[in-house]
Amino acid sequence: MTVAPTLPGAVTVRVPAKVNLELRVGPRRPDGYHSLATVYQAVSLHDDVSVARWEDWQVVAAGPYADRIPTDGDNLAVRAARLVAERWDVDERLSIRIDKDIPVAGGMAGGSADAAGALVACDQLWGLGLDREELAELAAALGSDVPFILTGGNAMGSGRGEQLAPVLARGTFHWVFAISDVGLSTPEVYAECDRLRERDGEHVGEPQISAELMAALRSGDPAALGAALHNDLEPAAFSLRPQLRELRDAGVEFGALGGVVSGSGPTVAFLTESHEASLDLSVSLAASDLCRNLRRAKGPVHGAQVVPAARTA
Ligand code: ATP
């Protein structure tokens, strides 16, 4: 695919992917969303979102997943930019370039990351000087994961995931992400979760983060964190994609400290002891033939950040 270079005067924002260290799914709310309790960690897989003034709205996508995202008004970065333009009465159109390295429909908040990137980039390009609260409010209107991508680090999310609270954490964690060629639709995974719960007559209470996970983050102990990883959507993801269970079990057998489906999947996140251990695990998983696309990353990393112009030239 031929990709235009970043336009002169463009503002570029780098945005991270997320993994849910714990995801507890409560009952379905009257508005159709489920109440959630989650702990997010931002990890070092990034998209770059660049915006520049242009004669019309345009999306140019680059990178390994470029052909999987919409390039019309459905693109979440365009929706974010249009929302800012409407709210602050900016009568301009933008060319938005997305260098996409976060898997699409992988449970790693790729689309939300691009929306967060566009918000920060538009704020900078148009000199709006939005404060944290204004950005957070726009972010929540665009999607449940968007506010977290703005902040990054580690954070607890409640409501539908958009209400954030800080968590005490120390240490850097080393991950291997096993990425599937075909994504899973988030609404389908929630629907399957509801179906399984109804079939099993499961009582679903208000979701709560475990004390074990919070203690593991406070101590920075990867073994404790590996043992505490949890995702209530995992049974639904396994039900829709049975090979994911095999993949998760294989990673743990090959020495991961823990393995969990990220968000609504199908990416499986494996926590390892160290950088070296993450290399070893990648080699073992690649040799097993269970997954061809393996990415190593560390977390936590910071949230959306403007890239200094010299680095984008
Ligand atoms: P989450 O973890 O927040 O549930 P996800 O990582 O599973 O999300 P996304 O990559 O955000 O999923 O993609 C979800 C859908 O959004 C896809 O069908 C995709 O086509 C669409 N989409 C719209 N804009 C974008 C974008 N800029 N990047 C990725 N996907 C986008």
Residues 78, 177 share a domain:
no
Q: Give the end of a domain, one of 113, 147, 167.
A: 167
Pocket test for ligand 1, best of 94, 96, 186, 262 (most atoms within 8 A of CB): 186
Distance 113 CA to ligand 1 centre (A): 9
Atom of ligand 1 nearest to the CA of 102: 10
Residues 161, 179 share a domain:
no
pLDDT, position 142: 97
HSE value, Cβ hemisphere, 13 Å, CA-based, for 230:
18
Measured distance CA(221)–CA(296) in Å, rounded: 19
Q: Which two tokens stand for residue 188?
A: 């389908």
Domain contains 306: no
Q: Give the end of a domain, one of 167, 185, 220.
A: 167
Q: Which two tokens stand for residue 24?
A: 């507890």
Residues 83, 101 share a domain:
yes
Residues 197, 160 share a domain:
no
Domain contains 307: no
Verify whether residue 298 is a known catalytic residue.
no
Average of pLDDT values for 240-261?
Answer: 97
Atom of ligand 1 nearest to the CA of 17: 6
Ligand 1 and 119: CB distance under 6 A: no
| Catalytic residue (choose from 99, 101, 114, 145) | 145
pLDDT, position 7: 76
Residues 182, 40 share a domain:
no
Residues 290, 198 share a domain:
yes
Domain contains 223: yes
Domain contains 305: no
Ligand 1 and 79: CB distance under 6 A: no
Ligand 1 and 251: CB distance under 6 A: no
Q: What is the pLDDT of residues 258-302, one digit of tens each?
A: 999 999 999 999 999 999 999 999 999 999 989 989 999 999 999
Identify the residue whose C-alpha is closest to ligand 1 atom 11.
111
| Catalytic residue (choose from 18, 100, 101, 232) | 18
Distance 191 CA to ligand 1 centre (A): 17
Average of pLDDT values for 45-55?
Answer: 97
Residues 103, 21 share a domain:
yes
Residues 26, 111 share a domain:
yes
Verify whether residue 145 is a known catalytic residue.
yes
Ligand 1 and 48: CB distance under 6 A: no
Question: If pLDDT is split at 50, 70 and 90, which confidence band does 14 have?
Answer: very high
Domain contains 313: no
Ligand 1 and 263: CB distance under 6 A: yes
User: Domain of 103: which CATH number?
Assistant: 3.30.230.10
Residues 151, 108 share a domain:
yes
Average of pLDDT values for 123-140?
Answer: 96
Residue in 202, 267, 184 with CA at minimum distance from that of residue 25:
202
Domain contains 3: no
Residues 265, 152 share a domain:
no
Q: What is the pLDDT of residues 92-118, one digit of tens each?
A: 999 999 999 999 989 999 999 999 999
In the chain, the number of structural domains is 2
Residue in 17, 233, 306, 68 with CA at minimum distance from that of residue 244:
233
Question: If pLDDT is split at 50, 70 and 90, which confidence band does 169 have?
Answer: very high
Residues 113, 27 share a domain:
yes
Q: Percentage of the chain with pLDDT > 70?
A: 97
pLDDT, position 1: 38
Q: Give the end of a domain, one of 136, 167, 198.
A: 167
Residues 71, 41 share a domain:
yes
Domain contains 311: no
Residue 124 structural domain: 11-167
User: Domain of 194: which CATH number?
Assistant: 3.30.70.890
Question: Do residues 222 and 171 make contact, with C-beta atoms less than 8 angstroms apart?
Answer: yes
| Residue 12, CA distances (Å) to 48, 88, 119, 307 in order | 6, 20, 11, 6
Domain contains 4: no
Distance 265 CA to ligand 1 centre (A): 12
